[in-house]
Each structure stands twice: as structure tokens, then as C-alpha cells.
Amino acid sequence: MAEAIDEILTESEVRRVAYSMLALDGHWGVIISAEGKQKGNQLLEEALDAEIEKIRSRPGVSVLPDNSLPGYGIDEKDLYECFSSRTQGDKNFYLLRQICRGIFYVETEGVSGIPHEILSAENTFEILSNYRAFGKLIKDDCIKTDDWKTTREELKEMPAELVVSKMVSYGCRYAAMVAMRQKGYIRFPTESGDLIKRIKPLSKQVKDKFMQLLDIPEPEVPQLTKKEYIETISEFMHKLYKRNTSKKHK
């Protein structure tokens, strides 16, 4: 019988947690002052590796690689392939417009945007779903399906991991979004509750940044063609990934 998974952590999140544990225990200052900086740094790395192994060996913990694909796996070719159906033409245009609106809404100048830690803990289709949900939420103050409706104010009262999960659940509906499930980064499990398990261990600071996006007003966004929406989404996500992973940004 397979062991139940209570936490799904990315590699970088494991390292962050291990680093925090050592800092909390006071290991940094003690080792460096006793051994000198060069030797101390080596010992700290060894201590960090040991702490990481402790986290990996916890019962119920699954550790998976971050989504580290360029553009978080969002590729112009895949977008054309998944959103090209003639029978779904109007619907696909609508979906692309919502995704692009979401990007314009939450990644504009002066807005923090979806944190890299959350983006790198999501499959590619989940990232697009998240932006699509923001495109709907900020314009209409709610996200809804045939079965449920949640307002912006109701989302603000929920834990961040539940908000992310609800927004992705809304955003991934319709054939083109289902087709995107097989594109880009697809290594994270997607059973019910798995996304919550990935987001819940992230730091309060990261989750607070995400929740602040629920307060932004609706800005002006350009009206584009289907081709322009696809090109804009792909180009922007590659720029965003490059910016988020640059040494200067870190």
C-alpha cells in the first residue's frame, strides 16, 4: 500500500526550510566563528545537506523538482496547437483574452505579481489557469462555474493555498485548457488536494504577496488579435521567468 502524501515540496522549498531550521538553531554564527569563514561555509553546506536529508526522510513528504523550464514551460508552439480548434474558435479567443488580461492585471508595473515560488510549484497548465482566473476575477469581482461562485471578498477570507486551488480549478476548464495539461511542465501530481499540499508549505511572505493581488483594481488592457494574445503570453512568461531566476532578482 502506497504511503499517504501529506506534503508536496519543491527542491528549492526544501532548501529554504532547511536553511531556516539551521538559522533558528544558531548554527551559522557558531560554525563560522569557530572555524573561520572559508572552512565555516563548507561546514554550513554540509550541515545544510544533512538537514535537507532529514526533511526528505520525513513520513508523508514528497519532494519534486521545481518547474524550472524556460517560461515555466509556456511555449508559443504549444499555445497555437492547443488553442487552434476551429470549432472552439470563439471560446479559445475568449480564453486567451482572459489569460492575457490576468497577466496584464497582476504583472503590471508597481504590482508584485504572482511570486516565483508559487509559479515554480505549479504545472504549466496550472500557471495559465491561475492567470485566466485573475483575468476573470479582477474584471467581474468573482469566479464561477456551473456548480459554484466565489466573490473576491470571499476569497480574501480563505487561506492562500485554497485560493490558488480554487482559481486553478476555475481556470483549467474547457478543451484548450485540458489540452494544455499535456504540455510544458507536467511533473507535479494533480489529484484532488495536491495543489494545496504544494502551496501550503510556502512561506507566509510568499503567500501574503499572492493574497495582495486580490486587492488590485482593474487596469486598462489592450485589445489584441488571437495571434497577438498567444505571442504576448509566451513572450512575457519567458521574460518573467528570466527575471525571476536572475542573480540580480534573487
- Per-residue pLDDT 10s for the chain (250 aa) are 455 678 899 999 998 888 887 776 655 555 445 555 566 567 777 888 888 898 889 899 999 999 999 999 999 999 999 998 766 778 899 999 999 999 999 988 667 799 999 999 999 999 999 999 999 998 899 998 778 899 999 999 999 999 999 999 999 988 999 999 999 999 999 998 999 999 999 999 999 999 999 998 888 888 999 999 999 999 999 999 999 998 655 5
Please write down the long-range contacts of 143-147, taking CB distance under 8 Å and 24 or more positions apart. Answer: 143/167, 143/170, 144/170, 145/169, 145/170, 145/173
The confidence score (pLDDT) of residue 1 equals 43
Q: Give me the DSSP letters along 174-216.
A: SHHHHHGGGSS---S--STTHHHHHHTTS-HHHHHHHHHGGGP
Cell numbers for 35: 572555524
Find the Cα–Cα–Cα–Cα dihedral 165, 167, 168, 171, rounded to 10°: 160
- Total number of residues shown for the chain: 250
The confidence score (pLDDT) of residue 38 equals 60
The confidence score (pLDDT) of residue 219 equals 80
Distances (CA, A) of 194 to 14, 108, 126, 197: 17, 29, 12, 5
Beta-ladder partners of 9: 63
Domain boundaries, the chain: 10-61, 70-244
CB-side neighbour CA atoms (13 Å) of 64:
21
Sign of the Cα pseudo-torsion (106, 99, 207, 12, in order): negative
Find the Cα–Cα–Cα–Cα dihedral 116, 119, 122, 127, rounded to 10°: 180
> What does the alpha-carbon distance between residue 149 and residue 160 come to, in Å, rounded to a whole number?
17
The confidence score (pLDDT) of residue 144 equals 87
Cell numbers for 104: 496584464
Q: At what angle do helices 11-25 and 27-35 cross, to 10 degrees?
A: 70
